[in-house]
Structure 1
Amino acid sequence: MSTLLETIYLANQIDQESIDFQARILERSWLSNQTSIPPSLTEIPLKKSLTSVQTETMTTIFTSVDDLLKKNKLSPRSIDILITNCSLHAPTPSLSAMVINKFHMRSNIKSFNLSGMGCAAGILSVSLANDLLKVHRGSLALIVSTEALNTHWYIGKDRSMLLTNCLFRMGAAAVLMSSNDQDRGNAKYELLHVVRTNKAKDDRAYRCIYQDTDSELKQGVSITKDVITVAGDVLKMNLTTLGPLVKAFEHFCIHTGGRAVIQAMEMNLNLTEEDIEPSKMTLHRFGNTSSSSVWYALSYLEAKRRVKRGDKVLQIAFGSGFKCNSAVWRCIREVEPDTDNKWLDFIESYPVDVPDSISIRPC
């Protein structure tokens, strides 16, 4: 984080007051020095360009998809349905077309690209895949969730827009879902329920996370002070629907929207420190990777070997709009951590003590 702060300072594109504000947020963010930002944002001057953001998304998406296909010994041509989601980078051709081109997928693949759907889009993609798999029985779906930092990196003075610089980090996840009975032996989880709640009809909810330009016409994404209150309201609506369907969960994978989000979930759901551990450690190690963060949290649980057959896992995420999406999975076999699990190399050192505040500024 000190390197990030130094880069922001040396880039000389924002005033000292805005730099100090970002430093204060970073010091209380729970993020560690191991989180990642794209190389384009560590150069001086910062390189905000279409080429840079394409390089960023290709790096995360291609790596995730390639690892997943190799691990499962699958040909790209075996994929019947492809869903990509990224909120703030929507190029032409689309990200789904980019994946099809890279991996030479079939010409009759059913592809979808979701943009502008926020951090809850990963679970939304699961919902879409689930519906499609019910219609197209015996099919295999690939979901790819990521976010682009270069696109929305903000270099102005609006504090509500500077927050995204402090919280969001580089990451992606690729997931397979199948409606082919022959794949059940390879599957780890069975999807039980998906609940989607959208409060966009309410102006305060609609604008609490909002892409806009500031008074100097610099583009960014603002996060207002209403976001925690709105998230609490939408969470209650979502769980009111979900509650009668599932009585208890063994594990929780909460979207790593930030320290305030995780603490609010801990309080509202009366969770224990162990319940929030996967999300808290994910935020600390990887930052807010947007829609992919619920998969990082699940990978943490798997690396810790905590998920047992029959356990139910709740994934829950918030996103612009304002949305709250939840998914309930049941583990259907003993789960060993995958060899490419990103936590494996350092999982023995976790959980770590995450201080409420650190110092990253020179005395």
Structure 2
Amino acid sequence: MRVFILSTKVFLPQLVDPFEIANAFYPADRVGKKVNLLARKMVETIGIEKRPFVLDLEKLPEKKLKKEEDHPLYWGEKVIGSFIDLVGRENIGFLSMSYNISYHTDYLPNLITQIVLRTGLNLDRPPEELPYYGCASGVISIKNAVSYCKTHGKAAVVFVFDQCSNLAYIPSGSDDPYIKKTIKSNLLFSDGAAGLLIIPESMKPSKTLPEIIDVRTGYTPGDGIKMENGAFILQNQVKDIVPPVVSEKVIKPVLEKHGFKKEDIQEWSIHQGGIAIIDKFKEDDILGLSEEQIARSKELFHRYGNLSSPSCFLTFDSFFNEEKEKSGDAGMIVGFGAGYYMASALYVWS
């Protein structure tokens, strides 16, 4: 049975000036002028225009949501509600949710059950909650949703979010040993959510939609992205270790299996781990993509930063909602991150 993506939904919170965040995390009166200047220079180097951010900077060092409606329960309700409006509550039989970082604290019943209760879904398969699978988690959810659609003939929802601001490390002073270890991750990651509505061919309307051809997952153990004593650390060697493995495990095998060359893929939605990581996919011994092929991922990184799990969905959403004829065009959604987990989804507009 053929399976298609009927709709996408992206949810971004308030956009905040990155320099405002840097000054809040590294105020000169607490960490010194030298550290504050280093943080501001890091903001310039990273090059993010505005960061979607839910953290109340005025409450630091306590980490609190600035707005109650930025709780992931609300995000899930909004994303799923938009899909219910499209196909009807009774036609959605499966929900897969993934994330790494959340402000949610009332764990029982689990978060996904609370979202099901809020949205009134009547699922015929237990919903799945996939935490801590790194930035590949949303694409892993796509694989499970596709499997459901093929066996049950009903729609499935993929909901992915991350609230990375809750991992921000607030240094105690200029001599805090974790300042240099965490400054990059503190200034790189943003908050946001995204969703996909995946349907079987029997529910497809008479319009061109992306057909999911294959989803491939992979794994290589590594701790270049890790927590250490409550501090979120992103090591520099990640950019050299992860892209080659991602290419060999979840991109090249899928292209070869289905007779595609990299030049045949018009839409590359590559996880925006950072400009250096995205640029790695241009290297011939990794994948050899052109600057044009990675331009969309770089553009959205510069606009919003690294949203973690929803990042590649944000790029795909920008392709999905373009007003142009796409019949026959192909694309890949590629996610990868801590663990190291990785996944790719190949689709063709048909």
**Pick from 221, 228, 233: which aligns with 2:239?**
228
Deviation (angstroms), 1:171: 1.2
In 2, Cα distance between equivalents of 1:159 and 1:308: 46
Alignment partner of 2:52: what SS?
coil
What is aligned with 1:344? none
Deviation (angstroms), 1:278: 1.3
1:179 and 2:200 are equivalent in the alignment: yes
- Structure-1-length-normalised TM-score: 0.78
1:296 and 2:314 are equivalent in the alignment: yes
| Conserved 8 A contact 2:165-2:191 | no
Structure 1 residues 15 and 122, CA, compared in 2 at 3 Å: closer, same or farther? farther
| Conserved 8 A contact 2:92-2:121 | yes
| Conserved 8 A contact 1:196-1:325 | yes
**Pick from 188, 204, 207: which aligns with 2:209?**
188
The gaps in structure 1 that reach 5 residues or longer are: 201-205, 214-218, 333-363
Structure 1 residues 11 and 312, CA, compared in 2 at 3 Å: closer, same or farther? same
Structure 1 residues 122 and 168, CA, compared in 2 at 3 Å: closer, same or farther? same
Residue identity (%): 20
In 2, Cα distance between equivalents of 1:319 and 1:307: 33
Q: C-alpha deviations, 1:318-343, integer Å up to 9, x for none?
A: 111112211101112xxxxxxxxxxx
Alignment partner of 1:105: what SS?
coil
Pairs within 5 Å for 1:56-71: 56-70=71-85
Amino acid of the residue matched to residue 189 of structure 1?
P
Q: C-alpha deviations, 1:216-235, integer Å up to 9, x for none?
A: xxx12211122112113312
What is aligned with 2:253? 241
Structure 1 residues 151 and 307, CA, compared in 2 at 3 Å: closer, same or farther? farther
What is aligned with 1:359? none
What is aligned with 1:106? 122
What is aligned with 2:327? 309
Q: Which has the higher strand share?
A: 2
Amino acid of the residue matched to residue 100 of structure 2?
S
| Conserved 8 A contact 1:80-1:110 | no
In 2, Cα distance between equivalents of 1:153 and 1:275: 32
The gaps in structure 2 that reach 5 residues or longer are: 1-17, 172-177
Deviation (angstroms), 1:63: 2.9
| Conserved 8 A contact 1:234-1:323 | no
| Conserved 8 A contact 1:256-1:280 | yes
1:149 and 2:167 are equivalent in the alignment: no
Pairs within 5 Å for 1:9-20: 9-10=26-27, 14=31, 16-20=33-37
Deviation (angstroms), 1:79: 1.8
| Conserved 8 A contact 1:251-1:312 | yes
Alignment partner of 1:80: what SS?
strand
Pairs within 5 Å for 1:32-43: 32-33=49-50, 35-38=51-54, 40-43=55-58
Alignment partner of 2:257: what SS?
coil
In 1, Cα distance between equivalents of 2:136 and 2:29: 34
Deviates more, 1:2-11 or 1:289-298: 2-11
Structure 1 residues 16 and 185, CA, compared in 2 at 3 Å: closer, same or farther? farther
| Conserved 8 A contact 1:316-1:325 | yes
| Conserved 8 A contact 1:36-1:169 | yes
Q: C-alpha deviations, 1:89-118, integer Å up to 9, x for none?
A: 375132211211211222645200000011
| Conserved 8 A contact 2:210-2:349 | yes
| Conserved 8 A contact 2:165-2:189 | no
Alignment partner of 1:325: what SS?
strand
Alignment partner of 1:309: what SS?
coil
**Pick from 271, 276, 279: which aligns with 2:289?**
271
Structure 1 residues 6 and 126, CA, compared in 2 at 3 Å: closer, same or farther? same
Alignment partner of 1:7: what SS?
helix
Amino acid of the residue matched to residue 96 of structure 2?
I
State the aligned residue count: 317
Amino acid of the residue matched to residue 95 of structure 2?
L
| Conserved 8 A contact 1:53-1:148 | no
What is aligned with 1:26? 43
Q: C-alpha deviations, 1:300-351, integer Å up to 9, x for none?
A: 224443561111101112111112211101112xxxxxxxxxxxxxxxxxxx
In 2, Cα distance between equivalents of 1:15 and 1:68: 49
